[in-house]
Amino acid sequence: MKWYALQHKPAQGDRAVEHLQNQRIACFYPKVPVEKVRAGKRVTRLEPLFPGYLFVQLEPTDPAWSKLRSTRGVLRVVSFANKPAFIADEVIQAIKASLRTIDELGGLKPGQPIAIEDGPFKGLEAIFQSYDGDERAIVLINFMQRHQSVAVPLANIKT
């Protein structure tokens, strides 16, 4: 069995996976946690690693090929010269291994360099120290030839 890429319809990746799994087709739809600031609060959401694409594992002679294009949420099979392009199993295994590493890492880490993009410290380089609740971070800045720990809104930080 080989892995193949499918392009799904906009915002229908989960739907496509659900319907493919109902047909007993092995799917891989890698998602990663993405930390964003929404309305001044830190929010972590799962987002697709490859937006618009998912992977299926099929035999080249499997009768399920005829159903793929009409599966809800699926747009097309990624093909070259009208032949589905297979993906080496090693590539899929490497993606799965990297996802385990990403899960272990999480959000901002102490000692990570950041930039302050707004507020009184706008334009300064800083080093992340810790979170201060859901909306603020404690960062270390070099200000007036001294290292200072200050609390800044997460909305003002860019990695």
pLDDT, tens digit (0-9, with 9 covering 90-100), for 38-95: 777 777 788 899 999 999 999 999 999 999 989 999 999 999 999 999 999 999 999 8
Of 5-19, 21-35, 47-61, 73-87, the poorest mean pLDDT is in 21-35
102-112 in b/e form (b: 16+ CB < 10 A) is eeeeeebeeee
pLDDT, tens digit (0-9, with 9 covering 90-100), for 92-112: 999 888 877 655 555 677 788
Q: For the domain that residue 126 is a member of, what is the CATH number?
A: 2.30.30.30
Range of the domain at 39: 2-105
pLDDT higher at 130 or 73: 73
For range 134-149, the mean pLDDT: 81
**H or E stretch including 58?**
strand 53-58
* This prediction's pTM: 0.65
Examine the domain organization and report whether 52 and 84 are in the same domain. yes
Q: Select from 80, 105, 130 the last residue of a domain.
A: 105
pLDDT at position 72 is 96
Examine the domain organization and report whether 85 and 125 are in the same domain. no
Examine the domain organization and report whether 56 and 126 are in the same domain. no
Examine the domain organization and report whether 12 and 81 are in the same domain. yes
C-alpha distance from residue 3 to each of 14, 133, 148 (Å): 18, 43, 52
Examine the domain organization and report whether 98 and 55 are in the same domain. yes
Domain total in the chain: 2
Q: How confident is the model at residue 124 (pLDDT cuts 50, 70, 90)?
A: confident
* DSSP H helix total and E strand total for the chain: 3, 14
Q: Rounding to the nearest 10 degrees, give the CA dihedral for residues 94, 57, 76, 31.
A: -40
Examine the domain organization and report whether 97 and 126 are in the same domain. no
For range 17-23, the mean pLDDT: 95
